[in-house]
Structure 1
Amino acid sequence: MSNIICSIFSSIYNGSFIPHLRGIYFSLFNKESSGKTIIYRPIRFTKKFITLKENVSIFSNCRVEGISHYGSQNYIPSIILHSGVSVQQNCHITCAQRIEIGSNTALANNVTVTDIDHPYTDISIPIESQDLIVKPVRIGKDCKIYNNAVILQGTIIGDHCVVGANSVVKGIFPDFSIIVGVPARIVKRYDFTKKQWRKTSPNGIFI
């Protein structure tokens, strides 16, 4: 009992008491989600489209949003954050179809993840008014996505990958890759034969 009281007072002292309560409240009304989640003050959080597993942390000023209607189109968005995912301040996750982030993956400050693209092909229609292009996004487990990175629609990132700060990522990237740049490319992969990280060509071939 004393441990519970100490835990409560500790969370009040460090400012996490209300975020813990938000996580508990979210789990109570979302049957697919688990407890032990902490949600600070997001700008927008469309909870009916979001599944949070255990020990997910969402920090202040994030926008985690499912888009169910845009223009003349209707969508059924699904945002799935697996156990241990951390979404730091000011991140922007926008989904019209499916975004899935694997367990223990961390998004640093100001990261954007979206499965939506706004086409510009019809010059007679404002870009914001054209029908969306939507392709699901998946980020594997145990990844680190550094500050200001942008993960674009249709991207698949494997397990235990690093995305460098300020990178713009689109495409399919294998497990154990270091991905950097604009547009992002692979610069290193883990070589299990030599048991070390090795430089690669942009398409991931060891050099």
Structure 2
Amino acid sequence: MIYKIFWAIRAVIYAPFFGKFGFPSYLGRPIFLMGTRNVFIGKKVRIFPHLRMEVHRKGNIHIEDDVVISQNVHITSAGNLTIGKSSLILANVFITNIDHDYQELNQHIVKQEYLVNETIIGENCYIGMGAAIMAGTKLGKQCIVGANSVVKGAFPDYCVIVGAPAKMVKKYNFETQKWEKVK
């Protein structure tokens, strides 16, 4: 518990370098932060140690209120990237809105253009351990992403997504009030 006091102190020290840093949020020791002026963190956000967060070019990252980001998470943005309120992101997750073009032969990938596509994680989502949320992904409200899933595309509210590539396997049925398999 005492370590959280140090994390809160760290948050106070780092806050002026962010576009917004709501309190009482806290920040475990990051391993790398870049472009924090374009990072907007809401209230009561808990970020555990070993976060790598990068903003490139004119990108931004919006982390809404009451989000929990576990250890060893990598978030990178060159466009709009949003993590909706009350979401939980478990350890070893990668979230991006950037792909690298690879059309030019004999040209190193990192020297080719970024392909940027907005990524949105909806409100109250649960991102399982080791998942990769790829550029252009749009998760609706309260989506559940299984561990080690590779997610790309648009998914509706209240669904369970698993696999590589990820597919919707369940959806909440409000009539029966149960999570039901998708056919």
Q: Could you tell me the TM-score, scaled by structure 2's length?
A: 0.94
From the superposition, tell whether residues 129 and 29 of structure 1 become closer, same or farther in structure 2 (CA, over 3 Å).
Answer: closer
Please state whether the residue corresponding to 1:16 is helix, strand or coil: helix
Unaligned runs of 5+ in 2: none
- CA shift, 1:32, in A, is 3.4
Supply the distance in 2 between the matched residues of 1:135 and 1:87 (Cα, whole angstroms).
22
CA offset at residue 179 of structure 1?
0.2
In the aligned structure 2, how far is the partner of 1:66 from the partner of 1:29?
Answer: 13
Equivalent of 1:77 in 35, 43, 59:
59
- Give the structure 1 partner of residue 46 of structure 2: 57
C-alpha displacement at 1:31, in angstroms? 6.0
Aligned-residue offset at 1:62 = 1.0
What is the CA-CA distance between 1:25 and the residue it aligns to?
2.9
The alpha carbon displacement at 1:148 in A equals 0.6
Counterpart check, 1:145 vs 2:134:
no
1:30 CA drift (Å): 4.3
* Match of residue 117 from structure 2: 135
**1:1-207 mapped onto 2 (5 Å cutoff):** 11=1, 14-28=2-16, 30=18, 32-46=20-34, 47-68=36-57, 76-201=58-183
CA distance in structure 1 between the partners assigned to 2:7 and 2:107 by the alignment: 42
1:200 partner letter: V
Contact 1:40/1:58 (8 A) holds in 2: yes
Gaps (5+ residues) in structure 1?
A: 1-10, 69-75, 202-207
Identity of aligned residues (%): 35
Note the C-alpha offset of 1:189.
0.2
Q: Which amino acid aligns with 2:72?
A: N
- What's the offset of the Cα at 1:27? 3.5
Number of equivalenced pairs: 182
Distance 1:61 1:29 in 2: 18
Report the Cα offset of residue 28 of structure 1.
4.6
Q: Which has the larger radius of gyration?
A: 1
Distance 1:194 1:143, change over 3 A: same
